[in-house]
Amino acid sequence: MRALVLTGPGKAEVQDVPAPSPGNDQVVVDVERVGVCGTDMELFSGEMSYLHTGASSYPLRLGHEWCGTVTAVGAGVGESWVGRRVTGDTMIGCGHCRRCEQGRHWVCEQRFELGIRDGLPGALAEQVAVPAAYLHALPDPVDATLGALVEPGGNALRCVQAAQLSPGERLLVLGTGTIGLLVAMFARAGGAEVHLIGRGDDDLALPKSLGFGHAWTRTALPDLPWDAVVDASTGAEMPPFALDRVEPGRRVVYIGLSVPPSLVDTRDLVLKDVTAVGVLGASAGLAGAINAYADGSVDPRPLVAATVTLDEIVDVFAGRRPPGTGPKVHVDPRL
């Protein structure tokens, strides 16, 4: 089959690789759609921290935002999965450590991360093998575009849940990329008053077109009490900015990562009695994201600028994005 392979920093190519066979407790999925995110871009550039800690290494097969149809099952998996449209969890725990047994498999020390850490090749390919225990079935209203947005949606939903807002309270979202806009969508669906910060006026056009009238640059941000702040940016200066802006006694949620380390003064955290929450992975939010997409309360399809082929995604990694206003690029490996 054909698959995208990173062969080194700044080097990506489509290769013919062996098609997967389902191992014990696994299924094989014919991939229908895959999203490319900032983590993939950092793995391509060589900046991703996992490449420096040894958790990831080249050659590497990307793809962790995906959907498709199960076409084969291994030993221990019911035949009823065959023919079902699915997506899956990126975080694959060992299943027997203390964290996994407590239901926190996404922080298992021995976890695989599909298409990110070594061990499980990703879905930027015609087929992918996935542990059946980590599958999520997709209902009919969740089309291919939505299916490939479940993983980032699960991350965003976890951020909104961690913010612990009541309807009518005010949320400030830092960043207008895919995660920031998804956080805004889920928070709006829950009744929050949502404000966003972009780097410049060009970043504000899309959120405004999506009905978010409160979209600002940092310099234009009004002086309002913020009941929660979600940092979905990649700027090293933004984590302390979030802490500075949030109301005392409330919550800051961190999901964005900067390449250089960011610094938060814990004296400010303590003296404001603020709770800071970090979000890693969509695992606990996947089912909720699917439900929100299925019932129409959240529709993130306008975030997708274009759907391209495997060959064309090589150009995207090289910086030649297709035209389109959304921050997300999808791949259809069948094209």
93 pLDDT above the threshold of 90: yes
Of residues 143 and 318, more confidently modeled: 143
Q: How far apart are CA 304 and CA 312, in angstroms?
A: 15
**Lookup: tokens for 163:** 């913010």
* The amino acid at 100: C
How far is the CA of 194 from the CAs of 156, 165, 172, 272, in angstroms? 14, 11, 6, 22
Assigned superfamily of 2-149+300-331: Medium-chain alcohol dehydrogenases, catalytic domain (3.90.180.10)
**Lookup: tokens for 235:** 């700027």
Average pLDDT value over all residues in the chain: 97
183 pLDDT above the threshold of 90: yes
Phi, psi of 181 (to 5 degrees): -70, -35
Confidence of residue 334 (pLDDT cuts 50, 70, 90): very high
Instruction: Kindly report each contact of residues 299-302 with a partner whose C-beta sits within 8 Å and lies 24 or more positions away, as own/partner.
Output: 299/146, 299/185, 300/146, 300/149, 300/153, 300/181, 300/182, 300/185, 301/145, 301/146, 301/149, 302/206, 302/209, 302/210, 302/326
Confidence of residue 278 (pLDDT cuts 50, 70, 90): very high
Q: CA nearest 233: which of 221, 218, 219, 246?
A: 218
* Sequence-ordered strand ranges (E) for 114-201: 127-131, 135-137, 170-174, 193-197
Phi, psi of 301 (to 5 degrees): -60, -30
Q: How far apart are CA 131 and CA 74, in angstroms?
A: 9
Q: Which sign, positive or negative, has the C-alpha torsion 318, 322, 325, 327?
A: negative
Can you give the pLDDT at residue 315? 93
DSSP class of 322: P
Confidence of residue 324 (pLDDT cuts 50, 70, 90): confident
Find which of 174-188, 256-270, 321-335 is predicted with most confidence, using mean pLDDT: 174-188
pLDDT in tens, 24-67: 999 999 999 999 999 999 999 999 999 999 999 999 999 999 99
**Lookup: tokens for 136:** 């999520």
263 pLDDT above the threshold of 90: yes
Phi/psi zone of residue 69: left (φ > 0), alpha (ψ -120 to 50 degrees), beta?
beta
**Sequence spans of domains, the chain:** 2-149+300-331, 153-278
323 pLDDT above the threshold of 90: no
325 pLDDT above the threshold of 90: no
CATH 3.40.50.720, domain 153-278, yes or no: yes
259 pLDDT above the threshold of 90: no
